Amino acid sequence: MKKIECTLCPRHCKLAQGQRGDCRVRTNVDGKLFSLVYGNPCAVHVDPIEKKPVFHMLPGTNAFSIATAGCNLHCLYCQNWEISQSPPEETRNATLSPENVVAQAGANNCRSIAYTYSEPIVFYEYTLDTARQAREKDIKNIIVTAGYIEQDPLLELCKVTDAASVNLKGITDDFYKRMCNATLKPVQDALLTMKKQGVWVEIINLVIPTWNDSDDDIRALARWVKENMGKDTPLHLSRFWPMHKLQNLPPTPESTLSRAWDISKAEGLDYVYVGNIPDHPGNNTQCPSCRRIILKRYGYQILENHLNNGKCGYCQVPIPGIWS
Amino acid sequence: MDRRHFLKTSLAALLAFFFGGKINALPQKPGMKEALYYRSPDSLAG
């Protein structure tokens, strides 16, 4: 029997009968491609929206968060490798239909559903069906993704996505090849498409000692974000923690993150954040006009909120995001 | 064991033995859903 070709992500896996894609969750059954994880999440939690992280959308609310097994990237430092690098047979899975996800989100007072932890692109059909039903119930959708997806499926997903937390892992093709066995351009293209389609985008960059933490790396990343996504696109610089296959490195020093924070702001980005260090001043949202703290955070907690109908409560300058 | 049940299960087992691949060709497992984005053999070049 002939092979079929998955066209969901740039890998374009060509699969013979019974073979699985690189993501471990799509397979060829008699010439048809099937998802193996539809309605079977291996992780279901209620999280603060700040954990995604999404800082410019409904602060202080909860996001009903789901994930299935599998991922189409294989980052050496993956923080959730137990589920992302496993086939569904090796994870403990619940049975939760899209209807039930939406119902559970409502029952848990969640104003959004986050498709997160592993990679929503590989549970695309489940994400899409759930997101469509969430929209009908006035629940917002957040995808937390590496953005390694083809344009056609992305355009369809954008129709029901309110916000995306996109991990731009590095700013060189070499980094993507060596760290993730992937390429940079599809991720940049996905970011541009999301912005063009009106999805609220926040960019995450895990700052890894010796891999992407030089001044030049940080500057190049911040410049790309400013020139292509706009200076009001939030950039989260997150602390790396030794995990999976990169346990030989130390956690990112706080001084490195502070330096990256300074460089990114100096490049002209209005909203630069520092992640995974709860008491760092980079957790707060500062008004780019009057420089006062509008949203004061400790980690995922909101300590003070001085937003007023999407504007700075002090100088009334509009702050971009989804606030209601 | 109920006789009718025995016959039914025996017949099913026999059919599965001889035609298992074909009978079970369509996925019945929970979690399986046809993907939205792929190219079938007919549209693949080469």
Provide the ipTM. Answer: 0.93
Which residue in chain A is spatially nearest to B21 when comparing CA positions? A30
Q: Does A88 touch chain B (CB under 8 A)?
A: yes
Q: Indicate the burial class of A136 (C-beta count within 10 angstroms; 0-12, 13-18, 19 or more).
A: exposed
Degrees (nearest 5) of the Cα angle A48, A49, A53?
A: 115
Which residue in chain A is spatially nearest to B43 when comparing CA positions? A4
- State the pLDDT at residue B12: 57
Report pTM: 0.91
Q: Which residue has the tokens 């939205």?
A: B36
- Judging by DSSP bridges, how do beta strands A140-145 and A311-312 pair with one another? unpaired
Q: Does A127 touch chain B (CB under 8 A)?
A: no
* Residue from A17, A23, A26, A35 whose CB has the most chain B CBs within 10 Å, to mutate: A35
The pLDDT tens digits for A27-61 are 999 999 999 999 999 999 999 999 999 999 999 99
Residue B28 pLDDT greater than 50, yes or no: no
Out of B26, B29, B35, whose CB is closest to A6?
Answer: B35
* Residue from A8, A34, A129 whose CB has the most chain B CBs within 10 Å, to mutate: A34
Residues whose CB is less than 8 angstroms from the CB of residue A44 and which lie 6 or more positions away in sequence, other chains included: A64, A65, A66, A94, A96, A104
Q: Does A40 touch chain B (CB under 8 A)?
A: yes
Q: Does A72 touch chain B (CB under 8 A)?
A: no
The pLDDT tens digits for A151-192 are 999 999 999 999 999 999 999 999 999 999 999 999 999 999
**Mean pLDDT over each residue of chain A, to the nearest integer:** 97
Q: Residues B21-46: what's their mean pLDDT?
A: 68
Confidence of residue A97 (pLDDT cuts 50, 70, 90): very high
Q: Which of A87-91, A99-103, A258-262, B28-32 has the lowest mean pLDDT?
A: B28-32
Q: What percentage of chain A exceeds 90 in pLDDT? A: 99
Report d(CA A270, CA A282) in Å as an integer: 12
Q: What percentage of chain A exceeds 70 in pLDDT? A: 100
Phi-psi region of A304 (alpha: psi -120 to 50; beta: other; left: phi over 0): beta
Report d(CA A95, CA A38) in Å as an integer: 9
Given an 8 Å threshold on Cβ–Cβ distance, is A33 in contact with B27?
A: no
Residue B24 pLDDT greater than 60, yes or no: no
Which residue in chain B is spatially nearest to A12 when comparing CA positions? B38
